[in-house]
């Protein structure tokens, strides 16, 4: 009887090992998440003095379907962060607006954009061919309709990182870097005229 009672009072070793393993994994996951946040997953905008801005309002107007409008800001000399608050003044669902970067020729550049339908995308145009680096997909932090969205991208050390409303989206290789103009971008797929207003347009240089 004493033996049975003692077994009940002291759980088997394998149970403790399982508990310790679960705690270890939970701790490791928490540390990984903390490291990711520290690396910039939900990092606020840079605190150093900006190289340019904030500027705005800057209005982009697209009168015809399947056309884009671009406003160039110049070429950073090295690693950079570009941020802008974009507000659609009209709300056709089939639109896109955001940041254009690594513009090396009229038909060679990358675009980070959202749409009034709550989707986002990272596109590359090269020799007249459009490629999705990140396909159009819904993102819960994209504000729909005519609501303003804060977009930010940061390119440094061969990688570009992207945020919407201070929420991390993804990281992609900076294949067209390290040079190229940056700017603002808007596109109309179809429907009525599209207008997008950009404010708080800010550029930081040498800021990974």
State the pLDDT at residue 25.
Answer: 46
| Residue environment code for 58-78, b if the CB has 16+ CB neighbours within 10 A, otherwise e | bebebeeeeeebbeebeebee
State the pLDDT at residue 51.
Answer: 84
State the pLDDT at residue 109.
Answer: 97
State the pLDDT at residue 137.
Answer: 96
What class, spelled out in words, does domain 52-205 have in CATH?
mainly beta
State the pLDDT at residue 2.
Answer: 35
State the pLDDT at residue 207.
Answer: 53
State the pLDDT at residue 108.
Answer: 95
Looking at the chain, how many residues does it have? 208
- φ, ψ of residue 55 in degrees (nearest 5): -120, 165
State the pLDDT at residue 186.
Answer: 96
Kindly provide the residue ranges of all beta strands, DSSP E only, lying in 7-65, ordered along the sequence: 52-55, 58-62
Contact between 120 and 140 under an 8 Å Cβ cutoff? The reply is: no
Q: State the 10-residue block means of pLDDT for the chain, 208 residues long.
A: 44 49 47 43 72 91 89 89 95 85 94 96 94 96 96 96 97 93 92 89 80
Contact between 137 and 173 under an 8 Å Cβ cutoff? The reply is: no
Burial status of residue 23 (CB atoms within 10 A of its CB: 0-12, 13-18, 19 or more): exposed
Task: Name the one residue in this structure whose structure tokens are 């675009």.
Answer: 111
- Provide the residue ranges of all domains of the chain, joining segments of one domain with +: 2-39, 52-205
Task: Name the one residue in this structure whose structure tokens are 């240089």.
Answer: 205
Kindly provide the residue ranges of all beta strands, DSSP E only, lying in the chain, ordered along the sequence: 52-55, 58-62, 67-74, 80-88, 95-105, 108-114, 119-126, 129-138, 149-156, 159-164, 167-173, 181-188, 194-205
pTM of the model: 0.78
State the pLDDT at residue 77.
Answer: 77
State the pLDDT at residue 41.
Answer: 55
State the pLDDT at residue 190.
Answer: 78
Kindly provide the residue ranges of all beta strands, DSSP E only, lying in 48-92, ordered along the sequence: 52-55, 58-62, 67-74, 80-88
If phi over 0 gives left and psi between -120 and 50 gives alpha, with beta otherwise, what is residue 52? Answer: beta
């Amino acid at each position: 009887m004493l033996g049975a009672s003692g077994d009940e009072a002291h759980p088997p070793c394998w149970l403790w090992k399982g508990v310790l393993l679960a705690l270890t994994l939970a701790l490791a996951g928490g540390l990984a998440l903390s490291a990711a946040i520290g690396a910039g997953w939900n990092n606020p905008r840079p605190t150093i003095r900006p190289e340019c801005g904030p500027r705005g309002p800057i209005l982009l107007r697209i009168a015809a379907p399947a056309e884009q409008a671009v406003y160039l800001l110049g070429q950073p000399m090295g690693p950079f962060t570009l941020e802008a608050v974009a507000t659609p003044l009209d709300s056709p669902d089939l639109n896109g607006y955001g940041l254009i970067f690594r513009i090396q020729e009229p038909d060679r550049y990358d675009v980070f954009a959202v749409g009034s339908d709550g989707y986002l995308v990272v596109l590359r145009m090269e020799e007249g061919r459009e490629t999705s680096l990140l396909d159009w997909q819904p993102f819960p932090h994209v504000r729909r309709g005519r609501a303003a969205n804060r977009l930010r991208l940061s390119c440094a050390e061969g990688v570009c990182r992207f945020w919407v409303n201070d929420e991390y989206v993804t990281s992609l290789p900076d294949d067209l870097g390290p040079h190229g103009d940056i700017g603002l971008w808007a596109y109309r797929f179809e429907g009525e005229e599209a207008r997008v207003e950009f404010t708080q347009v800010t550029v930081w240089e040498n800021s990974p």
